[in-house]
Amino acid sequence: MTFKKDQQRLGIFVCGYRWSGSSAVKDWLRGYACIDIPPGSDISDGEIKALNYGLQNLLLIAEGKSLLGEHLARCALCPDKSLWPEVLGPPLLHSCGPGARSAALCDRALMLGASRVLRPGLDHYPALLREHLGKDHALDTEYLEIVSRLLHALRQESPPMDPAGTSQRQLSLSVSKLAALFYDRQLQITGTVPVFDNAIAGPNCRYFTLLHPDIFNRQVIFPVFRDPRDQFAEQVRFSARTCSWMVRRFIREYRLNQERTADFIRAHRHDRAKLIRQLSFESFVLDVGVREKLADEIVELLNNSSLSSALNDSFFNCDRSMENIGIWKKAGLGRQMQLIKNELKSFLRPEAE
């Protein structure tokens, strides 16, 4: 498929909060011949790290919601550190008030430890970005210019993320152009539309407001949630940064994520550019009717976007996903599961009992 500059973009975004089951939705979407995950996904869990780590971390820092993660963001967006002064400019943290330079040094020191548990490791980032872009990022003038303008927009945005702010439109265009570049390149290289998997994650779903309709004319957003007991059990099992004694922090983060997602859905329920479908992982896996209803909407969107709605061999394994429902019962975390049951009662899924 040859991409035409005037062709409308259909942005497909799947987002969740750490082991939410969003990968099942991503794999199901790949059943459509014109939809696929980004190149290099075999080593990056289907994510574009320049968006997942790079864009999101910078947005959080620009908002003042975090003092950590900028060094990782820079590595994800531009692995060639010799280009940082020209392309990225000084760290955003340097303009965050008293103690910001110390925070920047601390962030860099913590990055050394964090780099040991990153998957994939930082040494994979140059090759990974090259696969996403189709060329070496250090020689990709279009990409470097978009990244540079993004950093400029983040420095100009004040107050951060203020919808009425004079710089909000510029920030929205910068964010959208960065995502659109990966979209365009994949369409050119593989002829398929990318699934943006956690390019904007569940806890930060408010950033979907930055997707400009002039660039992504149609946006399909799937926030995915899961029974918190199963989710915590998987985090303890697979996440290097989650231990069983962190259950109270998990409860706070889970509740906050659900509140933010609900706020986002309410705020954009009349937004014609956005089709938002919040999905329960359990219902999506067990109820074929849920998938059939989504399939009807996806086919209509593909046809309206002049994209093929033909089905390929499905990558979604329903039986395997079913095995991940109710796993909390075998996790050996009785005290933690009881606490989650008491504190997050309204979020428990009957399918997981």
* Same domain, residue pair 139 and 277: no
The candidate with the shortest Cα–Cα distance to 219, out of 276, 304, 298, is 276
Q: Does residue 79 form part of some domain?
A: yes
Residue 40 lies in a domain: no
pLDDT reported for residue 92: 85
Residues 302 and 332 in one domain: yes
Distance spanning both ends of the chain, measured CA to CA: 46
Preceding omega of 350 cis (within 30 degrees of 0): no
160, 208: one domain: no
What is the predicted pLDDT for the residue at 217? 92
Verify that 171 and 210 share a domain, yes or no: no
Res. 168: pLDDT tops 80: yes
Is residue 43 in some structural domain?
no
Residue 210 and residue 175 in contact, taking contact as beta carbons nearer than 8 Å: yes
Which of 191, 219, 246 is at the close of a domain?
191
Q: Is residue 41 part of a domain?
A: no
Q: How confident is the model at residue 7 (pLDDT cuts 50, 70, 90)?
A: low
Of 142, 159, 191, the last residue of a domain is 191
In this structure, are 209 and 65 located in the same domain? no
Q: Which structural domain range is residue 337 located in?
A: 7-34+192-353
How much is the mean pLDDT over the chain? 89
- Residue 301 sits in a domain whose CATH number is 3.40.50
Residue 271 has a pLDDT of 92
pLDDT tens digits, one per residue of 263-310: 999 999 999 999 999 999 999 999 999 999 999 999 999 998 888 888
Portion of the chain with pLDDT greater than 90, in percent: 68
pLDDT at position 164: 46
Specify the 3-state DSSP secondary structure of 199.
coil
One domain, residues 266 and 148: no
pTM of model > 0.85 = yes
Based on the domain organization, do 181 and 250 belong to the same domain?
no
Distance CA 184, CA 10 (A): 11
Q: Are residues 106 and 182 in the same domain?
A: yes
Of 191, 209, 230, the position where a domain reaches its end is: 191
Clarify whether residues 229 and 264 are in a common domain: yes
Q: Comparing 138-142, 163-167, 201-205, 289-293, which segment has the lowest mean pLDDT?
A: 163-167
pLDDT of the residue at 2: 44
The confidence score (pLDDT) of residue 216 equals 95
Q: Is residue 127 part of a domain?
A: yes
Q: What is the pLDDT of residue 1?
A: 42
In the chain, how many domains are there?
2
pLDDT band, residue 143 (cuts 50/70/90): very high
DSSP string, 267-303: HTTT-TTEEE--EEHHHHHH-HHHHHHHHHHHHHHHH
Q: Is residue 160 part of a domain?
A: yes
3-state SS class at 14: strand
Give a yes or no: residue 151 inside a domain. Answer: yes
pLDDT at 166 (0 to 100): 46
Query: Do the domain assignments include residue 1?
Result: no
Residues 182 and 196 in one domain: no
Q: Are residues 16 and 100 in the same domain?
A: no
Please report, to the nearest 10 degrees, the dihedral formed by the alpha carbons of residues 7, 11, 12, 15 taken in order. 170
Same domain for 211 and 318, yes or no, is: yes
